[in-house]
Chains A and B, each alone.
Chain A
């Protein structure tokens, strides 16, 4: 998504990336980035929290309006109700090597099948 923002911006269309994976977006370098420190999935606000979503959309629009330099990051003031997700996401230290290997094999199988379908579609 960050690469797409760079492409649009290079073509003259101002962009703002709204997201929660701060390191991924900032390492790519984008013109404007609105960061919310939430678990991945709700970068525009908590589900059904209309006031928060309106505030985040408003901040994103504001960033398009007033940012004067590329790589401008703004962090929204919102906090997730707890912090357990920081540790739990992609946690694997409770899984055995055999289980992890099996997860990897299954995923690689799915990826290979999808890539084969994609190759058929886009020779």
Chain B
């Protein structure tokens, strides 16, 4: 298919609109109500970035070796895993990304552990947390705010990170 830029519509994709119509067409009754806030908290970095320990958070999951589980068999759990050695791959098939347009065979395209290690090597950041963190995408804001986000915070505090990069697939 050729490019279909339509300047009489917004150019960037609305995933809220797309997913609502897609799942409605599949017989889902109540559309998902996405998180909505009018403001956001803000914390300033308390030290120079070159002295700071940075943590990486991903929505991908850990996977055993070459296994290829069914998407819905992977349970949504919060985890931490070593960045050294970096995992050869993470499991992403259970996330809603564009499996026709691209792939996730390159870890650094969605969990840039090596790029962050390079940032340490050149002195841009002080250190990378010894572990990276995984949080599942669960379509329950209550579960995220009451269980998963506090669990993530505990892991980040254990590793004394100063800042976090959170990458959503």
Q: With a CB–CB cut-off of 8 A, which chain A residues contact B157?
A: 11
CB of B1 within 8 A of CB of A84, answer: yes
CB of A8 within 8 A of CB of B152, answer: yes
Query: A41-B169, A101-B27, A117-B75 given as contacts; is B109 within 8 A of A13 (CB)?
Result: no
User: Would you give the 0/1 interface string for B107-140, flagging 1 where the beta carbon is closer than 8 Å to chain A?
Assistant: 0111110011011000011000000000101000
> Which of B70, B105, B125 touches A47 (beta carbons < 8 Å)?
B105
CB of A18 within 8 A of CB of B37, answer: no
Roughly how many angstroms separate A21 CA and B17 CA in the complex, as a whole number?
11
Query: A17-B168, A61-B125, A105-B27 given as contacts; is B40 within 8 A of A29 (CB)?
Result: yes
A58 at interface, CB cutoff 8 A: yes
CB of B118 within 8 A of CB of A44, answer: no
User: Would you give the 0/1 interface string for A58-72, flagging 1 where the beta carbon is closer than 8 Å to chain B?
Assistant: 101100110001110
Roughly how many angstroms separate A110 CA and B28 CA in the complex, as a whole number?
14
Interface residue SS majority, chain B: loop
CB of A121 within 8 A of CB of B75, answer: yes
Interface centre among A7, A40, A84 (most CB of B within 10 A): A40
For B116, give the chain A residue with the smallest CB separation.
Answer: A57
For B136, give the chain A residue with the smallest CB separation.
Answer: A1
Q: In angstroms, how far is the closest chain A Cβ from the Cβ of B131? A: 15
Interface residue SS majority, chain A: helix
> Which of B19, B49, B164 touches A13 (beta carbons < 8 Å)?
B164
User: Would you give the 0/1 interface string for B1-15, flagging 1 where the beta carbon is closer than 8 Å to chain A?
Assistant: 111110000011111
Query: A61-B119, A86-B4 given as contacts; is B34 within 8 A of A24 (CB)?
Result: yes
Residue numbers of A with Cβ under 8 A of B are 1-25, 27-31, 37-50, 53-54, 56-58, 60-61, 64-65, 69-71, 80, 82-90, 92, 95, 97, 100-101, 103-105, 107-108, 110-111, 113-114, 117-118, 121
- Interchain Cβ contacts under 8 Å between A and B, 6 examples: A8-B152, A21-B13, A47-B109, A50-B108, A57-B165, A86-B13
Residue numbers of B with Cβ under 8 A of A are 1-5, 11-19, 21-23, 25-28, 34-45, 49, 54, 57, 59, 70-73, 75-76, 92, 96-106, 108-112, 115-116, 118-119, 124-125, 135, 137, 141, 144-145, 148-150, 152-153, 156-157, 161-169
